Amino acid sequence: MNLTHLHVRTAAALACAATLITLSACGGSQKPAADHKPKAEAEPRPGAKPNSIEKLAADAIYNTATRANAEAGSLRERMARPGITSDLRLSPTECAGTVTRSAEGSYEIIRKGADTWVKPNAQFAAWMTKSTGTAFSDSAWLHGTSANPVTSALGSYCHSEQFAAPDASAGGLTKGRVTQLDGLPVTSLARKGKAGKSVTYYIASTGTPNMIMQDVTGSATSPDLTFSDFGKPVGAQKPAGPIAEAPKD
Protein backbone atom coordinates (compact mmCIF):
# COMPACT_ATOMS: atom_id res chain seq x y z
CA MET A 1 0.00 0.00 0.00
CA ASN A 2 1.53 3.35 -0.96
CA LEU A 3 0.65 6.83 0.24
CA THR A 4 -1.46 7.77 -2.77
CA HIS A 5 -3.84 4.91 -2.02
CA LEU A 6 -4.23 5.44 1.72
CA HIS A 7 -7.85 5.18 2.74
CA VAL A 8 -9.23 5.89 -0.73
CA ARG A 9 -12.21 3.69 -0.01
CA THR A 10 -14.84 4.86 -2.51
CA ALA A 11 -16.03 2.50 -5.23
CA ALA A 12 -14.61 4.14 -8.33
CA ALA A 13 -16.95 2.52 -10.83
CA LEU A 14 -19.96 3.93 -9.00
CA ALA A 15 -18.85 7.15 -7.36
CA CYS A 16 -16.76 8.43 -10.25
CA ALA A 17 -19.27 7.97 -13.05
CA ALA A 18 -18.75 10.79 -15.51
CA THR A 19 -21.78 12.88 -14.65
CA LEU A 20 -21.33 12.46 -10.89
CA ILE A 21 -17.58 12.72 -10.48
CA THR A 22 -17.71 16.07 -8.72
CA LEU A 23 -20.35 14.81 -6.28
CA SER A 24 -18.33 11.89 -4.96
CA ALA A 25 -15.60 11.43 -2.39
CA CYS A 26 -12.96 10.72 -5.05
CA GLY A 27 -13.67 13.34 -7.68
CA GLY A 28 -13.38 17.01 -8.41
CA SER A 29 -10.71 19.62 -7.82
CA GLN A 30 -11.07 21.53 -4.60
CA LYS A 31 -9.88 24.86 -3.26
CA PRO A 32 -7.10 24.41 -0.71
CA ALA A 33 -8.10 25.19 2.85
CA ALA A 34 -5.79 27.20 5.08
CA ASP A 35 -6.11 24.65 7.88
CA HIS A 36 -8.09 21.57 6.92
CA LYS A 37 -6.77 19.16 9.53
CA PRO A 38 -9.31 17.91 12.09
CA LYS A 39 -8.50 18.21 15.77
CA ALA A 40 -7.88 14.82 17.31
CA GLU A 41 -9.86 15.25 20.56
CA ALA A 42 -8.85 11.77 21.72
CA GLU A 43 -11.22 10.29 24.27
CA PRO A 44 -9.91 9.85 27.82
CA ARG A 45 -9.81 6.25 29.04
CA PRO A 46 -10.01 6.47 32.83
CA GLY A 47 -8.39 3.48 34.47
CA ALA A 48 -7.38 1.89 31.18
CA LYS A 49 -4.27 -0.24 31.52
CA PRO A 50 -1.31 -0.18 29.11
CA ASN A 51 -1.90 -2.63 26.25
CA SER A 52 1.79 -3.07 25.27
CA ILE A 53 0.95 -2.42 21.62
CA GLU A 54 4.30 -0.63 21.24
CA LYS A 55 6.12 -3.96 21.70
CA LEU A 56 4.78 -5.33 18.41
CA ALA A 57 6.39 -4.83 15.01
CA ALA A 58 5.18 -1.81 13.05
CA ASP A 59 3.01 -3.77 10.60
CA ALA A 60 1.46 -5.78 13.45
CA ILE A 61 0.61 -2.57 15.30
CA TYR A 62 -1.14 -1.16 12.23
CA ASN A 63 -3.07 -4.34 11.54
CA THR A 64 -4.09 -4.72 15.18
CA ALA A 65 -5.35 -1.14 15.28
CA THR A 66 -7.43 -1.32 12.10
CA ARG A 67 -8.95 -4.61 13.28
CA ALA A 68 -9.75 -3.07 16.66
CA ASN A 69 -11.63 -0.24 14.95
CA ALA A 70 -13.56 -2.72 12.80
CA GLU A 71 -14.41 -4.91 15.77
CA ALA A 72 -15.83 -1.90 17.63
CA GLY A 73 -18.84 -2.21 15.31
CA SER A 74 -19.36 1.56 15.08
CA LEU A 75 -17.35 4.75 15.38
CA ARG A 76 -17.22 8.43 14.59
CA GLU A 77 -15.00 9.32 11.63
CA ARG A 78 -13.97 12.87 10.88
CA MET A 79 -12.24 13.34 7.56
CA ALA A 80 -10.46 16.37 6.17
CA ARG A 81 -8.58 17.08 2.99
CA PRO A 82 -8.21 20.44 1.22
CA GLY A 83 -11.69 21.80 0.52
CA ILE A 84 -13.62 18.85 1.94
CA THR A 85 -14.55 17.77 5.46
CA SER A 86 -16.95 15.20 6.87
CA ASP A 87 -18.17 14.31 10.34
CA LEU A 88 -19.96 10.96 10.27
CA ARG A 89 -21.04 8.23 12.66
CA LEU A 90 -20.64 4.87 10.99
CA SER A 91 -21.44 1.19 11.35
CA PRO A 92 -21.54 -1.60 8.75
CA THR A 93 -25.15 -0.72 7.88
CA GLU A 94 -25.59 2.88 9.06
CA CYS A 95 -24.22 6.35 8.44
CA ALA A 96 -25.29 9.73 9.82
CA GLY A 97 -23.67 13.13 9.73
CA THR A 98 -22.57 15.98 7.51
CA VAL A 99 -20.29 16.46 4.50
CA THR A 100 -18.97 19.95 3.69
CA ARG A 101 -17.30 20.96 0.44
CA SER A 102 -16.01 24.50 0.77
CA ALA A 103 -16.56 25.42 -2.88
CA GLU A 104 -20.03 23.87 -3.23
CA GLY A 105 -21.80 23.79 0.14
CA SER A 106 -22.78 21.01 2.52
CA TYR A 107 -25.32 18.26 3.00
CA GLU A 108 -26.61 16.01 5.74
CA ILE A 109 -26.67 12.30 5.10
CA ILE A 110 -28.46 9.35 6.69
CA ARG A 111 -28.00 5.79 5.55
CA LYS A 112 -29.78 2.79 7.00
CA GLY A 113 -29.37 -0.51 5.21
CA ALA A 114 -29.89 -0.02 1.48
CA ASP A 115 -31.67 3.34 1.94
CA THR A 116 -29.91 6.69 1.83
CA TRP A 117 -31.35 10.15 2.49
CA VAL A 118 -29.49 13.35 1.65
CA LYS A 119 -30.44 16.91 2.63
CA PRO A 120 -28.43 19.58 0.75
CA ASN A 121 -28.18 23.11 2.03
CA ALA A 122 -29.22 25.91 -0.33
CA GLN A 123 -25.70 26.40 -1.70
CA PHE A 124 -25.16 22.72 -2.41
CA ALA A 125 -28.62 22.31 -3.97
CA ALA A 126 -27.89 25.23 -6.31
CA TRP A 127 -24.52 23.75 -7.25
CA MET A 128 -26.07 20.33 -7.96
CA THR A 129 -28.73 21.94 -10.12
CA LYS A 130 -26.15 23.85 -12.14
CA SER A 131 -23.79 20.88 -12.45
CA THR A 132 -26.32 18.24 -13.47
CA GLY A 133 -29.06 20.20 -15.22
CA THR A 134 -31.62 18.65 -12.86
CA ALA A 135 -33.47 20.84 -10.35
CA PHE A 136 -32.54 20.14 -6.71
CA SER A 137 -33.95 21.84 -3.62
CA ASP A 138 -32.91 22.27 0.00
CA SER A 139 -36.53 21.93 1.15
CA ALA A 140 -36.68 18.12 1.09
CA TRP A 141 -34.55 15.07 1.77
CA LEU A 142 -33.51 13.14 -1.34
CA HIS A 143 -34.08 9.41 -1.00
CA GLY A 144 -32.48 6.62 -2.98
CA THR A 145 -31.28 3.07 -2.57
CA SER A 146 -27.72 1.86 -2.98
CA ALA A 147 -28.43 1.49 -6.71
CA ASN A 148 -29.26 5.18 -7.21
CA PRO A 149 -26.31 7.05 -8.79
CA VAL A 150 -26.96 10.36 -6.98
CA THR A 151 -27.34 9.05 -3.44
CA SER A 152 -24.59 6.48 -4.02
CA ALA A 153 -22.14 9.18 -5.10
CA LEU A 154 -23.03 11.47 -2.20
CA GLY A 155 -22.94 8.51 0.16
CA SER A 156 -19.43 7.52 -0.92
CA TYR A 157 -18.12 9.34 2.15
CA CYS A 158 -19.75 6.69 4.37
CA HIS A 159 -16.80 4.34 4.62
CA SER A 160 -18.61 1.34 6.05
CA GLU A 161 -16.33 -1.12 4.27
CA GLN A 162 -13.67 -0.49 6.91
CA PHE A 163 -15.69 -2.73 9.23
CA ALA A 164 -15.86 -5.69 6.84
CA ALA A 165 -12.41 -5.23 5.32
CA PRO A 166 -10.08 -3.21 7.55
CA ASP A 167 -6.96 -1.93 5.80
CA ALA A 168 -3.89 -4.14 6.07
CA SER A 169 -0.37 -2.78 6.09
CA ALA A 170 1.81 -3.42 3.08
CA GLY A 171 5.03 -2.46 4.82
CA GLY A 172 7.10 0.69 4.82
CA LEU A 173 6.09 1.66 8.35
CA THR A 174 8.47 2.92 11.01
CA LYS A 175 7.54 2.56 14.65
CA GLY A 176 7.80 5.67 16.79
CA ARG A 177 7.79 6.10 20.53
CA VAL A 178 4.89 6.19 22.95
CA THR A 179 3.76 9.80 23.17
CA GLN A 180 0.66 11.84 24.06
CA LEU A 181 -2.26 12.84 21.87
CA ASP A 182 -4.69 15.12 23.70
CA GLY A 183 -3.50 13.55 26.93
CA LEU A 184 -4.00 9.98 25.71
CA PRO A 185 -0.92 7.73 25.53
CA VAL A 186 -0.43 6.64 21.92
CA THR A 187 2.08 4.77 19.82
CA SER A 188 2.96 6.41 16.51
CA LEU A 189 3.73 4.84 13.14
CA ALA A 190 5.18 6.74 10.19
CA ARG A 191 5.29 6.08 6.47
CA LYS A 192 7.33 8.27 4.17
CA GLY A 193 6.30 8.82 0.58
CA LYS A 194 7.78 10.66 -2.37
CA ALA A 195 8.15 14.42 -2.74
CA GLY A 196 7.78 15.14 0.96
CA LYS A 197 4.58 13.15 1.39
CA SER A 198 4.19 11.30 4.67
CA VAL A 199 1.55 9.89 6.99
CA THR A 200 1.62 9.32 10.73
CA TYR A 201 -0.80 7.00 12.51
CA TYR A 202 -1.58 7.21 16.21
CA ILE A 203 -2.74 4.10 18.08
CA ALA A 204 -4.03 4.06 21.66
CA SER A 205 -1.45 2.57 24.03
CA THR A 206 -3.99 1.97 26.81
CA GLY A 207 -7.17 -0.08 26.75
CA THR A 208 -8.25 -1.27 23.31
CA PRO A 209 -5.53 -0.41 20.76
CA ASN A 210 -7.77 1.62 18.47
CA MET A 211 -6.41 3.75 15.69
CA ILE A 212 -7.14 7.30 16.82
CA MET A 213 -5.76 9.44 14.04
CA GLN A 214 -4.19 9.46 10.58
CA ASP A 215 -2.21 12.65 9.92
CA VAL A 216 -1.11 13.25 6.32
CA THR A 217 1.51 15.75 5.17
CA GLY A 218 2.16 16.87 1.61
CA SER A 219 -0.83 15.23 -0.11
CA ALA A 220 -4.05 16.84 -1.30
CA THR A 221 -5.73 13.52 -2.08
CA SER A 222 -5.09 11.37 1.00
CA PRO A 223 -7.29 12.55 3.88
CA ASP A 224 -6.54 13.27 7.49
CA LEU A 225 -8.79 11.07 9.65
CA THR A 226 -9.72 10.99 13.31
CA PHE A 227 -11.68 8.21 14.99
CA SER A 228 -13.63 8.26 18.26
CA ASP A 229 -16.88 7.08 19.92
CA PHE A 230 -15.97 3.43 19.41
CA GLY A 231 -18.93 1.13 19.89
CA LYS A 232 -21.50 3.90 20.37
CA PRO A 233 -24.73 3.24 18.41
CA VAL A 234 -25.24 5.29 15.26
CA GLY A 235 -29.03 5.29 15.68
CA ALA A 236 -29.76 6.21 12.07
CA GLN A 237 -33.46 6.66 11.36
CA LYS A 238 -35.55 7.71 8.38
CA PRO A 239 -35.68 11.51 8.57
CA ALA A 240 -38.79 13.49 9.39
CA GLY A 241 -40.13 16.09 6.98
CA PRO A 242 -40.58 16.18 3.21
CA ILE A 243 -38.85 13.43 1.21
CA ALA A 244 -38.37 13.37 -2.54
CA GLU A 245 -37.05 10.51 -4.67
CA ALA A 246 -33.59 11.18 -6.10
CA PRO A 247 -33.34 11.18 -9.91
CA LYS A 248 -32.15 7.87 -11.31
CA ASP A 249 -30.09 9.24 -14.20
Give residue 22's pLDDT: 55
Average pLDDT on 114-127 reads: 96
Q: Which helix (H) or strand (E) holds 68?
A: helix 58-71
pLDDT score of 210 more than 50: yes
Check if the beta carbon of residue 142 is closer than 8 Å to that of residue 136: yes
Tens of pLDDT along 71-110?
999 999 999 988 999 999 999 999 999 999 999 999 999 9
10: domain CATH number is 2.50.20.20
At 180, is the secondary structure helix, strand, or coil? strand
Which DSSP category does 50 fall into? Answer: B
User: Rounded to 5 degrees, what angle do the CA atoms 115, 116, 119 make?
Assistant: 150
Q: What is the pLDDT of residue 46?
A: 73
Domain span holding position 161:
3-245
Count CA within 13 A, CB hemisphere, residue 76: 13
Cα–Cα dist 102/85, whole Å: 8
Q: Averaged over 217-225, what is the pLDDT? A: 83
170 compared with 97, residue with greater pLDDT: 97
Residues 123 and 104 sit within 8 Å (Cβ to Cβ): yes
What is the predicted pLDDT for the residue at 222?
81
Q: Is residue 17 predicted with pLDDT exceeding 60?
A: no
Q: What is the DSSP letter of 15?
A: H
pLDDT in tens, 124-153: 999 999 988 889 999 999 999 989 999 999
Q: Quick one: pLDDT at residue 29?
A: 43
pLDDT at 15 over 50: no
pLDDT digits (tens, 9 = 90+) for 36-65: 566 666 676 777 899 999 999 999 999 999
What does 190-206 look like in DSSP terms, one character per residue? EEE-STT-EEEEEEESB
The alpha-carbon radius of gyration of the chain (Å, integer) is 18
Would the pLDDT of 11 be above 90? no
The tally of domains found in the chain comes to: 1
Question: Of 27, 11, 30, 29, nearest to 19 (Cα)?
Answer: 27
- pLDDT grade, residue 23 (50/70/90)? low
Bigger pLDDT: 68 or 20? 68
Residues 153 and 117: their CA atoms lie apart, in Å, by 12
- Percent of residues, the chain, with pLDDT higher than 70: 82
> What is the three-state SS of 209-246?
CCEEEEEEECCCCCCEEEEECCCCCCCCCCCCCCEEEC
